[in-house]
């Protein structure tokens, strides 16, 4: 059975219900689960966990991954969930963000499934100096299988002092392959996609203000509405 909304949104809905109806959270969760056709929240959560493989399980050491969607379609949340899954496995997990503050990042992480349990194991880096060289220096020496999520691709070279985007991604690809680090990049999709009537965006819809060979990436995950598709590229 397909849920009416992502599970983290259903959980937030239950928390709101618990406050407005002044009932325990577990009762609110069970009520939401019954609306979804399950007898209780524990069954809903178990079925969902069994039916949705984590993106991390579909990646290999050294992968360079694109996570792309229009605004408000879940690309940042998917990147953060990737880090939570990495932290759950005891891997080094780092969120490099040029968009969010430390406090904003933690708030979004803690709102996700298991975010309150494993979120504090995620390292959050908010420096304006984030670039390929910065990321490589920061992750050099990390154990193989470490996971880094970069938020977001299109502003890595926004400062003129930083190398062109194509040079940065090539350097990060080489580093990922040599170190066994998984690097995922949150990416914008051009607004023209919404006028084309496609179910999901593809590489041709990625917004590229500066030149970049997207075939440098090994995999790409595209999201739209509640649909998610992971594709092999390189």
DSSP 160-217: TTSPPHHHHHHHHHHHHHHHT-EEEEEEEB-GGGGGTT-SS--GGGB--SS---GGG-
Residue 211 has pLDDT above 90, yes or no: yes
Domain locations in the chain?
Answer: 7-51, 56-232
CB neighbour list of residue 28: distance below 8 Å, 6 or more residues apart:
14, 15, 17, 18, 21
Provide the whole-model pTM: 0.80
Tell me what percent of the residues of the chain surpass a pLDDT of 70.
Answer: 95
Structure tokens at 63: 């992968």
Structure tokens at 149: 């999520």
Superfamily of domain 56-232: P-loop containing nucleotide triphosphate hydrolases (3.40.50.300)
Q: Average of pLDDT values for 39-51?
A: 70
34, containing H or E segment: helix 25-35
For the stretch 69-87, pLDDT in tens is 999 888 998 999 999 999 9
Structure tokens at 34: 């019954």
């Amino acid at each position: 059975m397909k849920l009416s909304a992502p599970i983290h949104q259903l959980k937030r809905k239950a928390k709101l219900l618990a406050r407005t109806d002044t009932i325990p959270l577990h009762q609110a969760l069970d009520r939401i689960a019954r609306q979804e056709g399950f007898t209780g929240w524990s069954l809903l959560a178990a079925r969902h966990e069994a039916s949705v493989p984590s993106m991390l399980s579909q990646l290999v050491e050294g992968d360079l991954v694109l996570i792309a969607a229009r605004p408000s379609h879940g690309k940042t949340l998917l990147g953060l969930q990737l880090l939570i899954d990495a932290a759950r496995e005891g891997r080094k997990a780092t969120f490099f963000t040029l968009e969010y503050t430390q406090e904003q990042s933690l708030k979004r992480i803690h709102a996700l499934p298991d975010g309150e349990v494993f979120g504090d194991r995620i390292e959050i880096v908010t420096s304006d100096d984030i670039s390929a060289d910065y990321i490589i220096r920061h992750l050099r020496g990390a154990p193989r299988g470490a996971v880094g999520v970069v938020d977001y691709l299109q502003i890595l070279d926004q400062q003129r002092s930083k190398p062109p985007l194509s040079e940065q991604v090539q350097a990060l690809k080489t580093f990922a392959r040599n170190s066994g680090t998984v690097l995922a990049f949150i990416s914008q999709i051009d607004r023209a996609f919404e006028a084309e009537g496609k179910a999901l965006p593809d590489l041709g819809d990625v917004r590229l203000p500066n030149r970049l060979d997207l075939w440098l990436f090994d995999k790409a995950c595209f999201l739209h509405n509640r649909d998610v598709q992971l594709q092999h590229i390189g």
